[in-house]
Amino acid sequence: MTFRCRNVLVLAAALVAESSIASPPNQTALVPASDQAAGIASLWMAMLVGGCLIFVAVMLILALGLWRARRQEHRLSHLASRNLVIAAGVAVPLAVLIALVAGSLFLGNNISSRPPDGALHIEVIGWRWWWEIRYRDSQGELIATTANEIHVPVDRPVRLSLTSEDVIHSFWVPNLHGKTDLVPGQTNSSWFTARRAGTFHGQCAEFCGTQHALMGFRVIAQSAAEFETWLAQQAQPARRADSPMLRRGREAFVSAGCASCHVIRGVTPPALANAVKTDSKNPLSADVRSLSKARTAARDKPVPAPDLTHFGSRLTLAAGTRPNTAGHIGGWISDPQGIKPGVLMPPTMLEPGELTALIGYLQSLR
Amino acid sequence: MSQVTANMPESASSAPSEQATAELNRTWASPAGFFGWFTHVNHRKIGFRFIMTSLVFFVLAGVLALLMRLQLITPENSLMGPELFNQLFTMHGTTMMFFFAVPIMEGLGIYLVPLMIGTRDMCFPRLNAFGYYVYLIAGIVLYLSLFLGMAPAAGWFAYVPLANDMFSPGKGMDIWTTMITFIELSALTAAVELIVTIFKQRAPGMSLDRMPLFVWAILVMSFMIVFAMPTVMVGSILLMLDRTLMTQFFVVASGGEPLLWQHLFWFFGHPEVYIIFVPALGVLSAIITTFTHKRLFGYTAMVLSLVAIGFVSFGLWVHHMFTTGLPHLGLSFFTGASAMIAIPSGVQIFCWIASLWGARIRFATPMLFVLGFFAVFVIGGLTGVMVASIPFDMQVHDTYFVVAHFHYVLIGGAVLPLFGGIYYWYPKATGRLMSERLGRWSFALIFIGLNATFFPMHQLGLEGMPRRVYTYLETMGWGNLNLFISLSAFVLALGFGLTFLNMWMSRSRGTPAGPNPWDADSLEWATDSPPANYNFRHIPVVRSGTPLWDDAIANERQFVSGLRNDRREVLVTTLVDAEPQAVVILPQPTIWPVLLAVAVSIGFIGTIFSPWGFWLGFFLSFWMIVGWLWPRRPWQEN
């Protein structure tokens, strides 16, 4: 049948088109780097093979049926029709589906079970349009806060607590695991065990407004020793400004208004995020009218922004959008709307000297 | 009332006088002129308007899709900013789902069902007209908001809290919630009307087991609308109250629940997909029956499959929520149900294959679209079973894999059959056949275009590209595939364009069709093309599931006589066996439906801007309903 050939050609053309593309394998479900992603990738391969077989079989049956009539009519008897429908329309699909559902539920149960003891606990809080990351020790004490970059040790289970303070986001690192939503008012959990070192890309997967597209982050899987060193360093307060240039940069950070949203531990007062959180603790006591005022006010006041205490140690800025280099930092400070239109960070006009000092200071925060 | 048997051609004694026919034609005529247009209540007029209006929305939403593809053609493209892109994809989804797919299926039903069951009009003609004007006004207001730059931008699914006034200020989401409530109102009126017409107005002898499968499909669709649409109306009204009257249903800080919205929305949203798909199954059955020239194999199995799909589709909604943190055990039921719905679909597909097997088929354009359906829909169905798996869905949910999946299902499962149906029934509506040559080109371009556009999206999704992104970074490596997809989208658009061109040109240039150009079996082909105002000169009596073929073999037709010519009488029959029961007099053309629709619109749209709009709309509507229901004696009119 010309019809089927055309279809096969299209499929082949699409496959050729795809295979010729060398994509960096750091945001793909097809190159798993954890137990969980590997399980899902195997399930996908099984379903892909099975799906192709079923598709070809159905097309062949259809083609054969049409081919039978090329010279003269050659209809199926009632009995043969019935057998075809029962076998191909009911029995085979039923068997395939039972196997698939069983396998899928088995895998799903493994993935969604509780993580083993001794898992590393990381909190992820979704904001428009960046990720707040908090490390806690086994007693639940806060060790370090960072943003848009998660470091994890290889071969140790990592437990994620996921929530949001504004709209629904979804946490997704395809190489490490499927996604889990960050829903305001509830804390979801997910866990994975990375099996090889590397830098993996993640991205928000639930539409969350204007800058949903550029709400990315990095997950860096590294050896346990490297990870401990990194975490210990992140737990420190910010590096002191020990030269006149750095001090000038630090002053610019405060005087230009950056400090009204961003925190640098040891330099600026505690996070605004905490203030907002206590606000929303007991809203039920307020009547509707004051609630509406509070909501209008909340819309206008500055929102919490990434903790910059160790900004200089990060790979990217603007939630995975630009590499963390002096030029990009300068561009982001002076014109964030040009890079991510609609982002909540306002542009900041600084004298060239001040800007250079500020960039130098931010880069020094390692 | 009596039954009359007539030989074919009709014998002289039973042939009606020309005078009586002219009188009947006058009785059922729709007034001419611009103002007359607003008083039409005839089902063919209203159904035709539904179909044409939804095709206009199809083109508009298609243009929006092409604009989005232009933006995504290269990484970090600066063609448009995120605000506009987010409006475009919100409008694309909203239009395709609410303003194209459902209304066009309703329109097909409204146009064809009375013809297929052998009656002269639907049971509530004025309600029919009201539903159309509500739909038209909702669509116009929504598109005005786009052209005024205040369109909704929170997605067609409008997830809260993003859709709350705190995160989506401005009037866009207010317009969205209001128009969604509005369009569902229109869908409900059409559904109620179709159900009653199908149950009570079938020609004598058309018992339920002789009803064409298309009519069964429309019946199942209508019941699904009745049960699904109210939940999204409840949801959108709650959201509207949150936004305008400061209620707190979805405001987390006050104990509101974001997932409540998702449950309400998807309890409607999943059946919605099948509301679109089920009538398309009916179209396929009609075309395959005609082109194989034999009643389909497994009529009972097909009907049971349609009904089963209707029921099971209400048990799938949570598979849109696999990543929201609900417990795995609860989710697993929905994996089971999602897999289960593949069985009735499989039964239907193999009943069709068994019917096609070894049959001498004329490969006219409608049949090409049917064959295209098999290839495309099977792929969409297979990926549908894949995403029913919770762990796999966690990877591909909200990625381009899912975009690929549902475009395969909706274009393959609904749009291809629909376009086949357009080629198939166009001669009935216009009296002329569409061009086969253009039809083949159109099919080829659509088939190639849709596979080239949507197949690579599977790959993009697995490679980590999420949905609803206005741009992507060059380092992601998605550029080449996106370029290929964007170019293919234009091939697809060209294919659809050729069919529209064909529709336009064939109006005057097509080959005259005659009453039954395809030698089909069902009653709509027993009357003229296009049918006269009264549809059937005599109400036929049905004695089998393929009445036209069996009448031809028996070389006689049976009619009911005794309906009066001077007023709009239709025959009411019993629900199961379709035995004559009563005669009902239908209302004349009237202006009140359009006036009521305008009054209700003033209420709904006014409420967006001021609470007084509600009161104004309420009192205006009250007076319009008084006018509508003003007692009169229909037998004294004319």
Chain-wide mean pLDDT for chain B?
92
pLDDT of residue A140: 81
Inter-residue contact A146 to A189 (CB < 8 Å): no
pLDDT at A281: 40
Residue type, B161: P
Listed by start position, the domains of chain A span 24-112, 120-235, 244-364
Structure tokens at B315: 């048990």
Query: What is the phi/psi pair of residue A201, to 5°?
Result: -95, 140
Tell me which residue of A123, A205, A184 sits closest to B395, measured CA to CA.
Answer: A205
Average pLDDT over residues A208-232: 95
pLDDT tens-digit series, residues B339-381? 999 999 999 999 999 999 989 888 999 999 999 999 999 999 9
Residue A9: pLDDT above 80?
Answer: no
CB B65 within 8 A of CB B473: no
Q: How confident is the model at residue B266 (pLDDT cuts 50, 70, 90)?
A: very high
In angstroms, the CA A321 to CA B467 distance is: 17
How close are the terminal C-alpha atoms of chain B, in Å?
Answer: 23
Contact B371 A3 (CB under 8 A): yes
Question: Min CA distance, B501 vs chain A (Å)?
Answer: 24
Give me the pLDDT at residue B555, please: 83
Residue type, A326: A
Q: What confidence tens digit (pLDDT) does each residue in A301-336 have? A: 556 899 999 999 999 999 999 999 999 999 999 999
Pick A21 or A85 by higher pLDDT: A85
Contact at 8 Å (CB) between A201 and A320? yes
Architecture per CATH, domain A120-235, reads as: Sandwich (2.60)
**Residue contact B462–A30, C-beta within 8 A:** yes
Q: CB distance from A43 to chain B under 8 Å?
A: yes
**Closest CA–CA distance from residue B469 to any residue of chain A (Å):** 4
Domain A244-364 superfamily per CATH = Cupredoxins -  blue copper proteins (2.60.40.420)
Q: What is the pLDDT of residue B253?
A: 86
What band does B4 get if pLDDT is binned at 50, 70 and 90?
A: low
| Interchain contact, A101 vs B335, CB within 8 Å | yes
Chain B residues with beta carbon closer than 8 angstroms to that of A184: 161, 252, 258
From B77, which residue of chain A is nearest by alpha-carbon distance? Answer: A339
Round to whole Å and give the CA distance between B338 and A55: 19
- Chain B residues in contact with A282 by the CB 8 A cut-off are none
| % residues pLDDT > 90 (chain B) | 83
DSSP state of A258: G
| Omega within 30 of 0 (cis) for the link into A129 | yes
Whole-number Å distance between alpha carbons of B60 and B1: 50
Could you report the per-residue pLDDT of B120-175, keeping only the tens digit for each?
999 999 999 999 999 999 999 999 999 998 899 999 999 999 999 889 988 899 99
Q: pLDDT at residue B84 above 90?
A: yes
- The edge-to-edge listing of strands for the beta sheet with A157-164 is A142-147, A130-136, A120-127, A157-164, A188-193
| Probe site for chain B from A97, A129, A279 (most B CB atoms < 10 A) | A97
Query: How far are the Cα atoms of A289, A290, B175, B377 from residue B246, in angstroms, in the given order?
Result: 8, 11, 17, 45
To the nearest whole angstrom, how far is the Cα of B233 from the nearest Cα of chain A? Answer: 22
Measured CA to CA in angstroms, residue B615 lies from B186, B394, B599, B620 at distances of 21, 47, 11, 8
Residue A18: which residues within 8 A CB-CB, separation 6 or more? B456, B459, B481
A284 pLDDT above the threshold of 80: no
3-class secondary structure, B409: helix
Query: What is the Cα–Cα distance from A258 to A312, expressed in whole angstroms?
Result: 16
Q: What is the mean pLDDT of residues A226-252?
A: 92
Name the average pLDDT for chain A.
85
Tokens (6 digits) for A29: 């479900």
Which of A1, A7, A64, A201 is the best residue to mutate to test the B interface, defined by the most B CB atoms within 10 Å of its own CB? A7
- The two structure tokens encoding residue B34: 């611009």
Q: Does A79 touch chain B (CB under 8 A)?
A: no
Predicted confidence band of residue B94 (pLDDT cuts 50, 70, 90): very high
All residues of chain B having their beta carbon less than 8 Å from the beta carbon of residue A315 are: none
Question: Given CB atoms, is A338 within the 8 Å cutoff of chain B?
Answer: no
A142 neighbors A170 (Cβ within 8 angstroms): no
Confidence tier at A257 by pLDDT (50, 70, 90):
confident
Chain A residues closer than 8 Å to B343 by CB: 89-90, 93-94, 97
- What mean pLDDT do residues A205-233 have? 95
B326 has pLDDT over 60: yes
**What Cα–Cα distance (Å) separates residue A92 from each residue in A95, A174, B357?**
5, 32, 19
A185: left (phi over 0), alpha (psi -120 to 50) or beta: left
Q: What is the mean pLDDT of residues B302-310?
A: 96
**pLDDT at residue A365 in the model:** 92
- In contact, A328 and A355? CB cutoff 8 Å: no
CB B387 within 8 A of CB B403: no
